[in-house]
Amino acid sequence: MKPCTIHDYQQLARRRVPRMFYDYADSGSWSESTYRANEADFDRLKFRQRVAVDMTNRTTQTTM
């Protein structure tokens, strides 16, 4: 299964990374207020699903 959400990635990391490293990376400092604020910000992100859209003249080409 491919990870699709932040929670999926957390579970994957929890299984693959040594516990002390996971706990360090997964914890915030002191009151963890920034950690909770970041989680809340990610929870507010919504992606608009676009189904049955005409893709005839679309391209991923770009210039730099």
For the chain, give the DSSP string: ----SHHHHHHHHHHHS-HHHHHHHH--STT-HHHHHHHHHHHH-------S---TT-------
pLDDT score for 12: 93
- The domain in which residue 34 lies consists of 6-41
Instruction: Return the pLDDT at 4.
Output: 87
* Residue 37 is assigned to a structural domain of this protein: yes
Distance (Å, rounded) from C-alpha 28 to C-alpha 22? Answer: 12
pTM listed for this prediction: 0.48
For residue 61, tell me if it sits in a domain. no
The answer to whether position 53 is within a domain reads no
10-61: pLDDT as tens digits? 899 999 999 998 888 888 777 788 888 888 998 898 888 878 888 888 888 9
Shortest CA distance to 49 belongs to which of 8, 19, 4? 4
Residue 31 pLDDT: 79
| Total structural domains within the chain | 1
- Asked whether residue 50 is assigned to any structural domain, the reply reads no
Q: Is residue 51 part of a domain?
A: no
